[in-house]
Structure 1
Amino acid sequence: PSKVDRAACSGRGHLRLKDGKAWTLLTTMTELKGHEESMGERRPMGAEHGSAQGRKSWLEQRQAEAEALGRTTQPEVLVIGGGQGGLALGARLRQLGVSTIIVDKHERPGDAWRKRYKSLCLHDPVWYDHLPYIDFPKNWPVFAPKDKIGDWLEMYAKVMELNVWNSTEAKTAHWDEASKEWNVTVVRNGEEITLRPKQLVFATGMSAKPNLPTFKGMERFKGEQHHSSVHPGPDAWAGKKAVVIGSNNSAHDICAALWEAGADVTMVQRSTTHIARSETLMTESLGPLYSEQALANGVTTAKADLIFASLPYRIMHEFQIPVANRMREVDADFYAALEKAGFMLDFGADDSGLFMKYLRRGSGYYIDVGASQLIIDGKIKLKSGVEVEEITETGVRFADGSELEADLIVYATGYGSMNGWVADLVDRETADRVGKCWGHGSNTPKDPGPWEGEQRNMWKPTQVEGLWFHGGNLHQSRHYSQFLALQLKARAEGIPTPVYGLQEVHHKG
């Protein structure tokens, strides 16, 4: 990497050579000149030395700021969603001096993690998952459980001095063309408040509302049925029969937890799924950039992020196919055993494996942390390759005429596009103007063409003025929050931000 300076900003670049010639070039802006982050030599003093009558303490200043923001003063940016994405962006904006409110419906930061099924944990390793400014400590576990992540996010919000409005739900939003600002109605602890930010960011993850199927007969089922997003955990189902419809990350996690709790559990796999063993993923894929060995080799998180981002999507699969092939060879016996158990595998539309599938569609895979062996051993039963015909009073009937009895049905059937939240908060017309979020037009399953070259609508201007999207895993929350924050800061300061071409909308969601 090399450092470059320009009149308005400073940044870094990455040049990749092939046969002695330039092959790929990435340039990134890291700072706006004159508007650098308040860190390092520019860090705040904190406690001011000396004496002054009537001066306020740090705590009093923070309290006064929090009390005024949204009432006597308006935020420049309103972020909807207080998970890792919203908090990472809020931290970046805080360091840039951009007034920001983050609203979240949960009672405490981190509750979006705490309130998921109890076996949830990160499937990505710790080196990949740091948030901006504060790395996880050196004794942090490789794969953090959900409640530990929730506690970290709550700490992060406090330490980074973020203005998070918890127990707050956004109700409506509309753009005022005359004032060039949003009017957003929120309800905070029962009180209705109107906020008027210039910029509105949806940081609600990489997905939207749960996809709940509409199988015939669902209304007559006498047991418990719910989407995986609201699954409370396995404790109530010991000795009971559970059917989990779906075969991606959540489905595997929930099935494994139900089996551990003593339930008789069956996974219903309706289409192929890519499986990547966590250990092999770490050694063969992530290890060179995100591991203790990478750090020992001088590959910092910032350097790893730059290298990781330096591959254009057009050629990224060329790098991922050999990685996926190596993983396939290393775990050949594992994959053979899964197929023998009846599990339907795929390795991506072009055999490019996990990362391309994630970037193209954000679904269709499982990072194995143990559930696959339960399937191989028959401890998690499997019903694959057959569609659900209907839900009966006592279970699930399939197109081949077979039936499964169930006390519990969990629909681990994924989520819709992020612009679905826009339809709810603003209106359907605005959501359609934005179009589908995520994917880059690879013309592979669930990522229809034409070619976009970038993630649809993520971290960049959209067809709707003042409307932005931020989401993804912790790595993406860290990395792309920097570039989104810089775009928002430039607009707040009136720095020219020419957009040379907005993404055309080819799919509405």
Structure 2
Amino acid sequence: MTVNPSQVASSWISQFGKALESEDINATVSSIHSDGYFRDILVFSWNNRCLHGHAKLRKYLTGSFDKVSIRDVKLETRTGLTPEYGALTDKLSLRAVSAGFNFTCAVGVGRGYFSLVFTDSGEWKALVVMMALADIEGHEEIEHELGIYEGHALAWTDVFNERRKAVETNPHVLIIGGGQAGLNVAARFKQMNLAALVVETTPRIGDSWRKRYPTLTLHSPKKSNSMLFQPFPKTWPVFTPRDKLADWLEQYAQSQDLIVWTNSRPLPHPVYDNSTKRWTVMVDRAGERVTLHPFHIVIAASTLGAPRMPVIPRQGGFKGSVLHSSVYQGGKPFTGKKVIVVGAANTAADISQDLVFHGAQSITMVQRSATWILSRDSARIMFDRAFPEDVDIDVCDLMAMARPISLLSKIERQTVEQSLEEQKTTHQGLAEAGFKIMAGKGFLTLWYEGRGGYSVDVGCAELISSGKVKIKHGVELAEFKTDSVLFTDGSSLEADVVIFATSYENIGDTMRKTILGDEIMDRVGPVWGLDDEGELRGCYRPTGQPGLWFAAGEFYISRAYSKQLALEIKAIELGLMVE
């Protein structure tokens, strides 16, 4: 079939726009495939929702149109968002016409994206439609300043020092965590005129990365890991090393004029005043206690809480070394040692590879359950498709947001066997070495379930296949002996070193124990994972506790959804949204 994507997209958006503008629920719903998804971000409600199927969408839209007032629905003209016809994913034959669009609504302007499929009835219907609020009228995101102040009479240093003093004295928002999530949120808030103070526990911005193992390199390409407003240089490595990323974050905070307190942490327990809508929170700033009264607190610490360290009986009697991967600083101290690495995901694989390089006498990886393995080349293809080099990052983010997680997970389940076949050679060697490959779930499902259980292979698979890294599968450590460990199957293994690459607590659990306490976290509920609509729980959306927000996730999520969070806080400030 010959398809003119511009013609198809123009015809569909004309019908869809008229349906929205005339507040015709039936016509709006009929524009969408019966198995389609409608994703709404702050347009029809001050939340993010994903409605699958006509019945749920019709119920959701009922009573909403008169409050929203959609109009001026037009196709986008920016590169990357003009109509295109192609495969919906690289693993399905299903093809779609996709394009971006703009619109105005009662409170401001919005952006959207759709993917149309040709139905058996001979019509183009939307498999996916996403509509997102982009700006509130009169409170638009600032692009940049002129750089000349008071008629060229004020120096930049004086301007910035005055701004710093104002934010430190009376922050509208307190952001806890100065990693990529906290910095992305802070940068977005600054451009949205939301006075934000970042508090970071470590001595320097970037230390959360510097303190991890030396060979750590991001497994996703640099484009997907861009920070807001500031792409990496063209000369930057495709995969970013630990220390380069740490230094980049440190200079990012400075170049984006963010107000950051390092060596600082909030003390338990902040108190929220329902009458003033402010928190009272004590911050330990390098030993000095400072009381702040922000309207909002944002927990921006990825999803990673405290290191998860299993308690194993008789550890005190073990004469060797026991450590968590979070404090592993390279394999040199373990040359000639017998090492057990507990875990079989990314970190465990990287550490095992490093131990081989540094001449450990033996390395045994304890794989407690099956692991999803993906080659770096395959991962790069996946990320490059989502974040192509020739498309602006904000356009990439918009298109990524338009792909509901529940749809992507469904596609992933349908193509798991194909993915396994593509990795067949690698998987065969692993299986022969006793390594169990996860077959029922893929990367996305594992990521959103708990950010574990998968590994992007950068060389450890060959070491396992060749026997340089041995595998012990399906067991747990039962207890320590003087110079060995006993497993739950009754077997034992001599060891000089045991490294637990057992991930980290969920950030919500750590906040419950260290800062926020049970009363607040009982209101919040789960942080991370997916709700019954396939939306992230407790992240970048109301938590149940007024004035408290979580900004979790990796670079793309914090970069893209920082706008949603800024709009929600701005809407509360303007009286448009009630928590």
* TM-score under structure 1 length normalisation: 0.89
For residue 187 of structure 1, the aligned residue among 257, 261, 284 is 284
Given that 2:203 and 2:262 are in contact with CA atoms closer than 8 Å, whether structure 1 keeps it comes out as yes
Q: CA deviation at 1:393?
A: 2.2
Equivalent pairs: percent with the same residue? Answer: 36
**Aligned equivalent of 2:224:** 128
For residue 439 of structure 2, the aligned residue among 344, 347, 350 is 347
For residue 371 of structure 1, the aligned residue among 460, 463, 477 is 460
Q: CA deviation at 1:67?
A: 3.5
Amino acid at match of 1:222: K
For residue 290 of structure 1, the aligned residue among 387, 390, 394 is 387
Deviation by residue 1:216-248 (Cα, 9 ceiling, x = unmatched): 222322222122122222221111121111111
1:279 matched to 2:377: yes
Amino acid at match of 1:8: V
**Aligned equivalent of 1:504:** none
Alignment of 1:20-419 (within 5 A): 20-39=124-143, 43-48=144-149, 50=151, 52=153, 56-70=154-168, 73-172=169-268, 173-263=270-360, 264-283=362-381, 285-292=382-389, 295=390, 299-349=391-441, 353-419=442-508
How many angstroms apart in 2 are the aligned matches of 1:195 and 1:235?
45
How many angstroms apart in 2 are the aligned matches of 1:453 and 1:497?
23
Q: CA deviation at 1:354?
A: 0.8
Given that 2:539 and 2:550 are in contact with CA atoms closer than 8 Å, whether structure 1 keeps it comes out as yes
Q: CA deviation at 1:302?
A: 2.3
How many angstroms apart in 2 are the aligned matches of 1:241 and 1:453?
44
Q: Secondary structure at the match of 1:416?
A: strand
For residue 529 of structure 2, the aligned residue among 425, 439, 442 is 439
Q: Secondary structure at the match of 1:288?
A: helix
Q: CA distance change for structure 1 residues 261 and 49 in 2, over 3 Å: closer, same or farther?
A: same
Amino acid at match of 2:344: S
1:491 matched to 2:558: no
Q: Secondary structure at the match of 1:475?
A: helix
How many angstroms apart in 1 are the aligned matches of 2:129 and 2:255?
37
Q: CA distance change for structure 1 residues 287 and 329 in 2, over 3 Å: closer, same or farther?
A: farther
Give the length in aligned residue pairs. 472
Unaligned runs of 5+ in 2: 1-99
Q: CA deviation at 1:387?
A: 2.4
Q: CA distance change for structure 1 residues 434 and 366 in 2, over 3 Å: closer, same or farther?
A: same
Q: CA distance change for structure 1 residues 17 and 68 in 2, over 3 Å: closer, same or farther?
A: closer
How many angstroms apart in 2 are the aligned matches of 1:422 and 1:49?
44
Unaligned runs of 5+ in 1: 442-450, 500-509
Point out the more displaced range, 267-276 or 312-321. Answer: 312-321
How many angstroms apart in 1 are the aligned matches of 2:527 and 2:149?
46
Given that 2:115 and 2:126 are in contact with CA atoms closer than 8 Å, whether structure 1 keeps it comes out as yes
Q: Secondary structure at the match of 1:69?
A: helix
For residue 429 of structure 1, the aligned residue among 519, 537, 555 is 519
How many angstroms apart in 2 are the aligned matches of 1:168 and 1:346?
41
How many angstroms apart in 1 are the aligned matches of 2:561 and 2:516?
25
Q: CA deviation at 1:131?
A: 1.1
Q: Secondary structure at the match of 2:386?
A: coil
RMSD: 1.8
Amino acid at match of 1:163: I
Q: Secondary structure at the match of 2:349?
A: helix
How many angstroms apart in 1 are the aligned matches of 2:475 and 2:489?
7
Point out the more displaced range, 87-96 or 19-28. Answer: 19-28
**Aligned equivalent of 2:71:** none
Given that 1:224 and 1:409 are in contact with CA atoms closer than 8 Å, whether structure 2 keeps it comes out as yes
Given that 1:418 and 1:436 are in contact with CA atoms closer than 8 Å, whether structure 2 keeps it comes out as no
Q: CA deviation at 1:452?
A: 4.6
**Aligned equivalent of 1:461:** 542
For residue 559 of structure 2, the aligned residue among 478, 483, 486 is 478
Given that 1:85 and 1:470 are in contact with CA atoms closer than 8 Å, whether structure 2 keeps it comes out as yes
* TM-score under structure 2 length normalisation: 0.78
How many angstroms apart in 2 are the aligned matches of 1:483 and 1:47?
30
Q: CA deviation at 1:256?
A: 1.1
Q: Secondary structure at the match of 2:435?
A: coil
Q: CA deviation at 1:51?
A: 5.9
Amino acid at match of 1:249: N
Which portions of structure 1, spanning 4 or more consecutive aligned residues, are displaced by more than 4 angstroms?
49-52
Q: CA deviation at 1:45?
A: 1.6
1:5 matched to 2:104: yes
Amino acid at match of 2:422: V
Amino acid at match of 1:229: S
Q: CA deviation at 1:390?
A: 1.0
Q: CA distance change for structure 1 residues 260 and 291 in 2, over 3 Å: closer, same or farther?
A: farther
Given that 2:540 and 2:551 are in contact with CA atoms closer than 8 Å, whether structure 1 keeps it comes out as yes
How many angstroms apart in 1 are the aligned matches of 2:261 and 2:461?
40
**Aligned equivalent of 1:447:** none
Point out the more displaced range, 242-251 or 308-317. Answer: 308-317
How many angstroms apart in 1 are the aligned matches of 2:150 and 2:172?
31
**Aligned equivalent of 1:505:** none
How many angstroms apart in 2 are the aligned matches of 1:210 and 1:58?
42
Q: CA distance change for structure 1 residues 153 and 258 in 2, over 3 Å: closer, same or farther?
A: same
Given that 1:422 and 1:428 are in contact with CA atoms closer than 8 Å, whether structure 2 keeps it comes out as no
Q: Secondary structure at the match of 2:504?
A: coil
Q: Which has the higher contact order (CA 8 A, sep 6+)?
A: 1
Given that 2:149 and 2:156 are in contact with CA atoms closer than 8 Å, whether structure 1 keeps it comes out as no
Given that 1:183 and 1:196 are in contact with CA atoms closer than 8 Å, whether structure 2 keeps it comes out as yes
How many angstroms apart in 2 are the aligned matches of 1:185 and 1:231?
32
Q: Secondary structure at the match of 1:212?
A: coil
Given that 1:274 and 1:348 are in contact with CA atoms closer than 8 Å, whether structure 2 keeps it comes out as no
How many angstroms apart in 2 are the aligned matches of 1:48 and 1:65?
13
How many angstroms apart in 2 are the aligned matches of 1:229 and 1:384?
23
How many angstroms apart in 2 are the aligned matches of 1:88 and 1:256?
32
Point out the more displaced range, 370-379 or 334-343. Answer: 370-379
Amino acid at match of 1:372: A
Q: CA deviation at 1:68?
A: 4.3
Amino acid at match of 1:404: L
Q: CA deviation at 1:498?
A: 4.8
Point out the more displaced range, 200-209 or 144-153. Answer: 200-209
